Structure 1
């Protein structure tokens, strides 16, 4: 089968290759991939991969959708069923799995990181990691849900769930996870304040009734305080890291929450501990979501609660070009990979 493979670090180390079709042991299902999406972690794996246990060559890609080829002994899955892949291969019997918190599984393996991923014509996964989609489901829209939207779901509805009356400030709102968080917070009835830059992005959010701050020309914390009558945001979503961390902390209301899922600009900002305890701010780390959260996300999408934004689509052979587009500051929303 054809697959996009990382065989060495760096841009030149990503190439379309012929790979063996995956084995399908009992309890697993084999899926013909239809589409996937590009995520920031793909660039991290290409350029470093430090701290992630894996071997090269590695098929890249973390999330995606497809159609069941076969699922021996799995009566709930039939050939031709449309399915979305949960990005984790989890054990199902450790303490975290039994508690329904699969991202904390003691032996979890993430697709495209610890094991072969989704940029391939076929993928095999434990059947418990597949969720059936409606026969009429838009497969391309579904393909971008698995990482960005699942991650945003847990950030918005996890340890500090938002709802009507909540004020949510989201850093770098043009990115995949942040854009998803904007949509989900709006779906929940929260007031959303987004930071971004560039005339097109600013106009995009304003046209949708979202309060927006140009972080290049405005002081973000002062503007958040002005917009909220001096209160600040109940929840701040930050997946940028060092470059935005100080502004994020100064934008949180007393007793509020800051949730982070990334550190693309650095992982060691000032903790500002005095602000944390004086204002009683809580900080939460977040990575993707549980199977229950995944199902709720899919139901919300199928019910029309939000429509994922796809910036641009590429073929499987064009994955290197898709990676380059991910680094384009003008890009907004998700990048799709059409596989079949």
Structure 2
């Protein structure tokens, strides 16, 4: 089979013929039609995770058709159009993953290939209103956003939601989920163009975080009180700007972050947290039940993921470099 392989860390992906996976008991073989990129793939290439072994086929997100099943797997899966849950071996505790938790694409070979194998329990039928390219964007990003918003922040449609970094894959899924549920959603971005695109999606408004007084200006735009306005804040940046989220959070607000793109969180004033009774959470990936709930919600609400660019598998390295540039608004997809 054709695959995009990371032969050595810090080197470009190489397109080559690799051995087609062989399924064992409980497993299925999926002929992939599309895969999508995550920053995780770039970070693996850069060696930013521990215990990376090469060669490895990256890729956590994929959609395709089941072509083979192993012993003990219902043969009715054969021929079904599916997406794959990349959050595997979560464990019995819904609050925290166990020691055996792993994400598809490391340490196991991932989806930047014509075929991938996985346990049958990690399959979900592809929502019929989505193309393979659209469906392939869901697994990692939408699951991360779903857990952050729905589970960690206990989201309700009455919440006033702020999503930082509009344009990234997870952030856009959070925006779509909250809007589809009927909530008022605001965004931040370093690009006025991305803010406008989020408004066209249904966000009520936004602010450019490069403006030094962005947090005060946002409260004025949202007509919120000086003590804060947003009940739910979903962040991916961390860094020094995270402290400003305390200023615009409503009393009792829930704040969840799933990334730290701008570095360590600094300068938080403890009194702002405890006098406002703020709740600050971290989150990553999600459970099998959360994955299934996310897919069901996407299906019921007919949510269509935002795709920025589609590349052929042969251009997987170009796709990684484009992701690393940070220009995208939405997901980057490989068509296989």
TM-score, length of structure 1 as denominator length: 0.90
Q: 1:76 to 1:111 in 2, by over 3 A?
A: same
Asked if 1:140 is matched to 2:133, the reply is yes
2: distance between equivalents of 1:155 and 1:289? 9
8 Å contact 1:102–1:289 — kept in the other structure? Answer: no
Asked if 1:284 is matched to 2:263, the reply is no
Q: 1:199 to 1:267 in 2, by over 3 A?
A: closer
Per-residue deviation at 1:326?
1.4
2: distance between equivalents of 1:8 and 1:158? 38
8 Å contact 1:6–1:13 — kept in the other structure? Answer: yes
Q: 1:292 to 1:76 in 2, by over 3 A?
A: farther
1:176 matched residue in structure 2? 169
1:325 to 294, 297, 322: 322
1: distance between equivalents of 2:267 and 2:44? 26
Q: 1:201 to 1:177 in 2, by over 3 A?
A: same
1:93 matched residue in structure 2? none
Per-residue deviation at 1:4?
1.1
Q: Cα deviations across residues 93-150 of structure 1 (Å, max 9, x unaligned)? A: xxx6335x39713202211222211111111111111112356652211110001111
2: distance between equivalents of 1:222 and 1:155? 25
The correspondence of residues 161-310 of structure 1 with structure 2, limited to 5 A, is 161-207=154-200, 208-217=202-211, 219-226=213-220, 227=222, 228-230=224-226, 231-310=228-307
Per-residue deviation at 1:188?
1.7
The correspondence of residues 26-105 of structure 1 with structure 2, limited to 5 A, is 26-51=25-50, 53-72=51-70, 73-75=72-74, 77-90=76-89, 97-99=91-93, 101=94, 104-105=97-98
8 Å contact 2:4–2:113 — kept in the other structure? Answer: yes
1:6 matched residue in structure 2? 6
Give 5+ residue unaligned stretches, structure 1: 91-95
1: distance between equivalents of 2:21 and 2:73? 18
Give 5+ residue unaligned stretches, structure 2: none
Greater displacement, 245-254 / 174-183: 245-254
The SS at the match of 1:200 is: helix
Greater displacement, 34-43 / 66-75: 66-75
Q: 1:292 to 1:236 in 2, by over 3 A?
A: same
8 Å contact 2:239–2:266 — kept in the other structure? Answer: yes
How many equivalent residue pairs?
331
2: distance between equivalents of 1:104 and 1:123? 24
8 Å contact 1:162–1:188 — kept in the other structure? Answer: no
Q: CA RMSD in A?
A: 2.1
The SS at the match of 2:317 is: helix
1: distance between equivalents of 2:203 and 2:282? 29
8 Å contact 1:103–1:288 — kept in the other structure? Answer: no
2: distance between equivalents of 1:293 and 1:88? 10
Greater displacement, 105-114 / 224-233: 224-233
8 Å contact 1:155–1:259 — kept in the other structure? Answer: yes
